[in-house]
Amino acid sequence: MRRAPLSGIVAVVLMSALGAQSATLDDIQVTRKRGRYELVAQTFLSAPPKAIYTVLLEYDEDAFQRISSVYKESKYLDPAPDGRPMVYTVMEGCIMFFCKSMRRTEYLQAEEFRYIRTLTVPEASDFKYSSSEWILEPVEGGTQMNYTLIMEPDFWVPPVVGPWVIKRVLGSGGVRAISRIERMALGEDMPRRRSPRE
């Protein structure tokens, strides 16, 4: 099993989910209900699922920082007592005038080349709740990548930072990030490889 990425207040989160030599952001929806944000994005990347999966699990390398400058740190932690893999990221991002540094410690679950899921450990993170899922489906010419993030920050977020603001930020910055993922997956800017950890 390998490792996976994630977010900047939300901007960071999706930026990893997007890519574009021929990559396209086909749809993005952001909603908020009772303090929780839900982000759903559909993208196409002209690279195979295996290559994308590998890029998204490079926590111990500098892959996340190359995908987006909002990532300041990413690494694997020792497994949880029950054996589940764990990862850690630090992100710094701004939306309008609101800037924040965010820590996330997450459990990781993955099935090779098909999906990556994470679940945040609230007591070791700046989120009351956060989960993400990346689903990779092979299609003609590349991969359909569906990304879902649900999160509830454990810090004050200005009311003006609503779903429409987040969607606007992600619509521009996200496309640049998926472009980088695609280039890395196609071997044009590859991170070093490590053996998967169980």
SS3 191: coil
Is 89's pLDDT higher than 50? yes
Across the chain, mean pLDDT equals 83
Q: How far is CA 146 from the centre of its chain?
A: 11
CATH class of 11-185: alpha beta
- The model's pLDDT over 149-186, given as tens digits with 9 standing for 90+, comes to 999 999 888 887 778 877 777 666 677 888 899 999 99
Contacts of 32 (CB under 8 A, 6+ apart): 38, 162, 163
Task: Check residues 31 and 106 and name the one with the higher pLDDT.
Answer: 106
Lowest-confidence pick of 36-45, 96-105, 116-125: 96-105
What's this model's pTM, rounded to 2 decimal places?
Answer: 0.79
Here the tokens at position 194 are 């490590």
* Residue 136 contacts residue 113 (beta carbons within 8 Å): yes
The ranges assigned to domains in the chain are 11-185
Q: How far is CA 107 from the centre of its chain?
A: 14
Here the tokens at position 38 are 């839900």
Rounded distance between C-alpha atoms, residue 36 and residue 13, angstroms: 14
Rounded distance between C-alpha atoms, residue 16 and residue 179, angstroms: 10
